[in-house]
Amino acid sequence: MGLFEEIKGKKAKIAVVGLGYVGLPLAISFARQADVVAFDVAKDKVEQYGKGIDVTKEVGDEAVQQTTAMFTSHEEFLREAKFHIVAVPTPINLDKTPDLRPVIGASTTVGRNLTTGSIVVFESTVYPGVTEDICVPILERESGLTCGVDFKVGYSPERINPGDKVHRLETIIKVVSGMDEESLETIAKVYGMIIQAGVFRAESIKVAEAAKVIENSQRDINIAFMNELSIIFNKLGINTHAVLEASGTKWNFLEFSPGLVGGHCIGVDPYYLTYKAEEMGYHSQIILSGREINDDMGKYIAENTIKKMIQANKQIRGAKVAVLGITFKENCPDSRNTKVLDVINALKEYGIEVQVVDPVANAVEVEGAYGIQLCKFEDLTDLDAVVVAVPHDEFAELKVEDLKVLYRNCNVYEGDSLDQVAATLDSEKHVLIDIKGMFAIKAAEAENYLYWRL
């Protein structure tokens, strides 16, 4: 009986290492078909899952409450599994080089608990060669086993899109790879148990690693092009969204839009590829140029906010600005590597008091990572500008006229006559920065806003 048959017959278990936005959906989905050990070193996260709370909001509390997966932070339970899936994050260091500590740590943990006849599949985004050149030696060292003889490895890049309820784990084609034909076939069959869209067998582990890292690099470059266009069109006084709408009528025009590029994938993965390219003696031109543009967008948005405030005769130092949304994308609680932080920090450099509202973000994580205490929307008052950074559904319910009560009327002075006050209030310009274009320009201008968007 092969490993796949043992898993299907529940004679062997699957272990998922890392229970974030990728690992949790994997554990929940596999648990419908097999016995699953769901492991994470973060005890508090495991405790939340044990209480039936989905901290990622990817599968929902009900799915966590009903799953048969065993959540644990005790690594010895990994010894019960024969099919290990490593789904830990792969961030970057401050110098933009790959931070492989999470995947190295996971490899060490799995290696300590690896048994003969097992398969280890990595899902973490890495540059080509990491699985075989870095992870395999760790697995061998920690286990005392020999790869290819006592255990085998594979790679299957994650394609989870956090917050997306349409393109889910089961409905996205899964790329799989193995170190040989036997491991490839087993890995393909195991993932085939849960992937409705089917699996694609890559010809090698390095091909699968490369395929993943260029998916997000391609998207990063296309968004960088849109951001550069928005900078050009802003100087020309042209509505970028209107231009894209017109160009989009051609059948082969690619649908991208300008915006902040953060998160743990698109804003990170390109650096993994360029790092490996540098090792091989090639300096990236297109990829790094795109990264530079996208990394500078937070500062660019802050500068345009300041310009609009000056235009509205607002005093900059000591001004109050509300930023709506801090997560890296809409309707997702993940604030890792969010570029909204760049906007906030740049505004603070001008002596501005910034208040942040985000009903979707994990407030504890935001304060722990960035030292920012989230405010409630109803507590906002006497603002000099509003920056709508993330178009959460909760914010989409707002109308531009609803925001007016949040602003201060700083051009009304003691001693002004009633006529002067009325005239001032009527002519008062409120600064509204709408990064993703959630509001219509005409509606904003009709309400006397100084409105700006990418």
Give residue-wise pLDDT tens across range 380-397. 999 999 999 999 999 999
Q: Which residues of 18-45 are buried (b: 16+ CB within 10 A; e: fewer)?
A: bbbbbbbbbbbbbbeebbbbbbbbeeeb
Is the alpha carbon torsion for 306, 308, 311, 313 positive or negative? negative
Q: Would you say 448 and 429 are in contact if contact means Cβ atoms under 8 Å apart?
A: yes
Mean pLDDT over 276-305 rounds to 97
Tokens of 65: 């409450």
* Topology classification of domain 296-452: Rossmann fold (3.40.50)
CATH for 3-203, options being 3.20.190.10, 1.10.8.50, 3.40.50.720, 3.20.20.140:
3.40.50.720
- Domain ranges for the chain, please list them: 3-203, 214-286, 296-452
Q: How confident is the model at residue 265 (pLDDT cuts 50, 70, 90)?
A: confident
Q: Would you say 389 and 326 are in contact if contact means Cβ atoms under 8 Å apart?
A: yes
Residues known to be catalytic: 265
Average pLDDT over all residues of the chain: 94
Task: Say which residue, 416 or 275, is predicted with more confidence.
Answer: 275
- Shared fold status for 3-203 and 214-286: no
Residue 343, pLDDT > 80, answer yes
Tokens of 169: 């784990």
Is 214-286 a CATH 1.10.1040 domain? yes
pTM (predicted TM-score): 0.91
Residue count of the chain: 454
% of the chain beyond a pLDDT of 70: 96
Q: Distance between CA 266 and CA 161 in Å, rounded?
A: 11
% of the chain beyond a pLDDT of 90: 88
Mean pLDDT over 293-302 rounds to 97
Residue 208, pLDDT > 80, answer yes
pLDDT digits (tens, 9 = 90+) for 48-91: 999 999 998 899 999 999 999 999 999 999 999 999 999 999 99
Q: How confident is the model at residue 273 (pLDDT cuts 50, 70, 90)?
A: very high
pLDDT digits (tens, 9 = 90+) for 169-200: 999 999 999 999 999 999 999 999 999 999 99
pLDDT digits (tens, 9 = 90+) for 108-166: 999 999 999 999 999 999 999 999 999 999 999 999 999 999 999 999 999 988 777 77
Q: Distance between CA 414 and CA 217 in Å, rounded?
A: 57
